[in-house]
Structure 1
Amino acid sequence: MKIVLAPDSFKESMSATEAVAAMRAGVLEVIPDAECVGVPMADGGEGTVDAVVDALHGQHVEAEVFDPLGRPINARYGYIPLRQLAVIEMAAASGLELIPPDQRDVLRASTFGVGQLIRSALDRGAEELLIGLGGSATNDGGAGMLTALGASFVGADGTPLAPGGAALRHLDRIDVSGLDPRLEHIRIHVASDVTAPLLGSTGASAVFGPQKGATPADVEILESALTQLATVTSTTLGKTSPQRRGAGAAGGLGFALVEFLGAESKPGVDEVAETVGLERALRGAAWVFTGEGSVDAQTVMGKTPFGVAQTAGRTGARVVIFAGRVAPDASVLLEHGVERLVAITAEGTPIEQALREGAQSLTRATADFCRHIIG
């Protein structure tokens, strides 16, 4: 019997790779001759680098970059030499969690560090990039990233603008002649669950700005700045699509990657699934076990277990989702190709204990379900 093990990480308890190991132990305890195929998964957010590196036997690379406020830090990305593929989480360089709450400044936070990671990957020989968008501290429309890659954002007085989204209100022209020429020959895939456009009441500034510390006045400044960015981009490139779904991801980084660098954008879990070859792994499988820390009705909005279930639906594999917490409204997943939802932690278990014992609980729950399979 072939069983594919394709979980996401169980946040604060175990990585996706550790979850695969825990599931494998449970399966082999009950079905010793089972063919277990591990495919660590992610949805483009935290854990994407680790999942892809582990699934494709890659390596981790460290690079010195600037954090959102321009301070030097070491950031990590993944590299798969056999495919010349680099995997980058933008939050590693420009993430909200890098800045203490009392120091956050969304008006001047920059994605410059993301551009530095891309340049490092190019130096390493990458011909393909997978960039996960999520957890950003920034709202600069990707201007910082493009600046690190050689573009210039210039004000009416002819001087380069200061870093950050607010400065873009004064943008007069964008000079792309200095962009790294290697970017013309590289494929960029963007993994993001955010469908927000760049501008408007459902856009980057209005929806996500407050989550990064923006006041109502700050949101107005940032909306004006990104509007100016879209206007000058249209003049520079002869086209622009600020209302495209996902353009507002990571404070507009999604906009810059697609418009200036020709990136292809897909829902995060679909992009990761394609990168790690999930559908290929599912061929001939009787079951696929997936999961993450918590599942509820929102899981159908593009979270990893839902994406795995959708892929499995094309191969005939039966789907089981394991989770530390299964909310009552998660039953909607049973209408989308999921056969069983399994809570690995007993009701009422203290959260600290549940996190500490996550791997053991997942092994036990997997073994119990396998007894049901053969029983």
Structure 2
Amino acid sequence: MQEFAVVQHVLVAPDKFKGSLTAAEVASRVSAGLGVPTVELPVADGGDGTVDAVVACGFTRVTVEVTGPTGLPVPASYAWRPAGPSDSPSDSRATAVVELAEASGLRRLPGGLEPLTATSHGTGQLIADAVRRGAQRIVLGLGGSASTDGGAGMVQALGARLLDADGDDLGHGGAELRRLERIDLTGFTDLSGVEVVVASDVDNPLLGPHGAAAVYGPQKGATPEDVQVLEAALSRFAAVATQTHGLLGAVEHDDTPRAMGVAGAPGAGAAGGVGFAALAFLHAEIRPGIDYLLDLLGFGDLVEDARLVITGEGSLDEQTLRGKAPVGVAQAAAKAGVPVVAVCGRRTLSDSDLAAAGIEAAYALTDLEPDPDRCMAEAGALLERLAARIAADRL
């Protein structure tokens, strides 16, 4: 019997090149330049571009009008996959991938930053829409948030009432939480039977010097005085939630009030404290963003017969080493014994840094074109040239 050689594919699994190409566009351009059989798997780590990447891998885009971070309506999308047959594996449950940045991100601000009043309300509306659609699992990607409201807007959109001393509902924004007296959950969305997973690599607690206000507030326009306001507001939110709804731990008061338990959990400070609300009110589990999304997209099956994996992102730098997509891809590929190289716009990591992360080599657009503006404008064509170089070197 005649034997035919199995042609192994190259698995192309990049994140986006922020400001120039989506993850799907990066994968397409790399595949075009390689000239060999490929499988394209755009990836993301839960931040900006997560919905785009998941949709490119077969999910359906659902777009609804929600409340943006300043209270103005914005169109926002989440990714949807209906339930599979009853005899299919458990990971075929009806799944929605919600990206906070889609509804409540910095890119949704119509003008300047709004550190005290920006809200996560639209993210809660996306979750509510997915629940109405029949979601059995919701993956909430955190990153790029415009607000520092502890996820208060998100839970308000899901039916929670955050009330002041007069029994009136609080308005939008983190600063409003200083007036919080009571939380009424009688109208809260029924999430029984819905698994909520937070995809995030941030391990900050809600409060304190490493918390949401202190670390991320300035990135959202908060002055030192604003940070103090937001810290006090988030502390009040955690205290009322803990005292009235039996969250883990007790509330301790000293010179700087701080809530223990859920508020101190790693990841509670993610996305301006949305991680806290997800843990406290949605009973979510926080998972490393890229690892969870690779599992969701079936990376393990696709890498088994690959001879090379190509990953990448716009900038390979110190942030890459802190759980970003290329490192997650490299670690997952290493389990299958498949070598990994990366493409990027620019790199500041040394060869030893890359090797320690499991990446054998990196190919940067700046190797071909030193002008950063031209790299951004001509990223697609340059990527095809880089891919041809990878093919000559590696295939």
Q: CA deviation at 1:8?
A: 0.7
Whole-Å Cα distance in 2 between the matches of residues 298 and 251 of structure 1?
A: 19
Letter in 2 for 1:106: P
- Which residue of the other structure, out of 157, 165, 180, is the alignment partner of 2:174? 165
Is residue 320–residue 340 contact of structure 1 (8 Å, CA) maintained in 2? yes
- Which residue of the other structure, out of 271, 281, 284, is the alignment partner of 1:263? 284
- 1:51 alignment partner in structure 2: 53
- 1:64 alignment partner in structure 2: 65
Counterpart secondary structure, 2:353: helix
- Which residue of the other structure, out of 82, 86, 107, is the alignment partner of 2:96? 86
Counterpart secondary structure, 2:186: coil
Counterparts in 2 of 1:128 and 1:328: CA distance versus 1, 3 Å: closer
Counterpart secondary structure, 2:312: strand
Taking the TM superposition and a 5 Å limit, the aligned residue runs for 1:322-361 are 322-329=343-350, 331-346=352-367, 349-361=370-382
Whole-Å Cα distance in 2 between the matches of residues 167 and 46 of structure 1?
A: 27
Q: CA deviation at 1:81?
A: 2.5
Whole-Å Cα distance in 1 between the matches of residues 315 and 150 of structure 2?
A: 32
- 2:221 alignment partner in structure 1: 213
Deviations 1:186-218 (A, max 9, x none): 111111222211000110011111111112111
Counterpart secondary structure, 1:202: coil
- 1:296 alignment partner in structure 2: 317
Whole-Å Cα distance in 1 between the matches of residues 301 and 218 of structure 2?
A: 41
Deviations 1:91-138 (A, max 9, x none): 211112222453x32222211111111111122222211111111111
Letter in 2 for 1:213: G
Whole-Å Cα distance in 2 between the matches of residues 358 and 66 of structure 1?
A: 34
Counterparts in 2 of 1:328 and 1:309: CA distance versus 1, 3 Å: closer
2:12 matched to 1:2? no
Counterpart secondary structure, 1:338: coil
- 2:294 alignment partner in structure 1: 273
Is residue 368–residue 382 contact of structure 2 (8 Å, CA) maintained in 1? no
Counterparts in 2 of 1:373 and 1:346: CA distance versus 1, 3 Å: closer
- 1:111 alignment partner in structure 2: 120
- Which residue of the other structure, out of 82, 91, 109, is the alignment partner of 1:99? 109
Is residue 351–residue 361 contact of structure 2 (8 Å, CA) maintained in 1? no
* Sequence identity percentage: 45
Q: CA deviation at 1:329?
A: 3.5
- 1:22 alignment partner in structure 2: 29
Structure having the higher helix fraction is 1
Is residue 366–residue 372 contact of structure 2 (8 Å, CA) maintained in 1? no
Whole-Å Cα distance in 2 between the matches of residues 315 and 335 of structure 1?
A: 17
Whole-Å Cα distance in 2 between the matches of residues 297 and 231 of structure 1?
A: 36
Q: CA deviation at 1:237?
A: 2.7
Whole-Å Cα distance in 2 between the matches of residues 330 and 221 of structure 1?
A: 44
Whole-Å Cα distance in 2 between the matches of residues 137 and 208 of structure 1?
A: 10
- 1:77 alignment partner in structure 2: 78
- Name structure 2 gaps, 5 residues minimum: 1-7, 84-91, 249-261
Whole-Å Cα distance in 1 between the matches of residues 351 and 173 of structure 2?
A: 40
Whole-Å Cα distance in 2 between the matches of residues 368 and 8 of structure 1?
A: 20
Deviations 1:58-114 (A, max 9, x none): 221111111112112221222122442111111211112222453x32222211111
Moved more, 126-135 or 310-319: 126-135
Q: CA deviation at 1:39?
A: 1.0
Q: CA deviation at 1:319?
A: 0.6
Letter in 2 for 1:60: R
Counterpart secondary structure, 2:342: strand
Runs of 4+ in 1 over 6 A off after TM superposition: none
Counterpart secondary structure, 1:247: coil
Q: If the length of structure 2 is used for normalisation, what is the TM-score?
A: 0.88
2:141 matched to 1:120? no
Is residue 286–residue 316 contact of structure 1 (8 Å, CA) maintained in 2? no
Is residue 297–residue 329 contact of structure 1 (8 Å, CA) maintained in 2? no
Whole-Å Cα distance in 1 between the matches of residues 297 and 323 of structure 2?
A: 17
Letter in 1 for 2:42: P
- 2:161 alignment partner in structure 1: 152
Letter in 2 for 1:19: V
Q: CA deviation at 1:317?
A: 0.6
Counterpart secondary structure, 1:323: strand
- 2:4 alignment partner in structure 1: none
Is residue 23–residue 43 contact of structure 2 (8 Å, CA) maintained in 1? yes
Whole-Å Cα distance in 2 between the matches of residues 12 and 281 of structure 1?
A: 28
Counterpart secondary structure, 1:153: strand
CA RMSD of superposed structures (Å): 1.7
Q: CA deviation at 1:279?
A: 1.7
- 2:331 alignment partner in structure 1: 310
Moved more, 323-332 or 133-142: 323-332
Whole-Å Cα distance in 2 between the matches of residues 305 and 220 of structure 1?
A: 36
Counterpart secondary structure, 2:268: coil
Whole-Å Cα distance in 2 between the matches of residues 12 and 69 of structure 1?
A: 23
Is residue 197–residue 285 contact of structure 2 (8 Å, CA) maintained in 1? yes
Is residue 295–residue 330 contact of structure 1 (8 Å, CA) maintained in 2? no
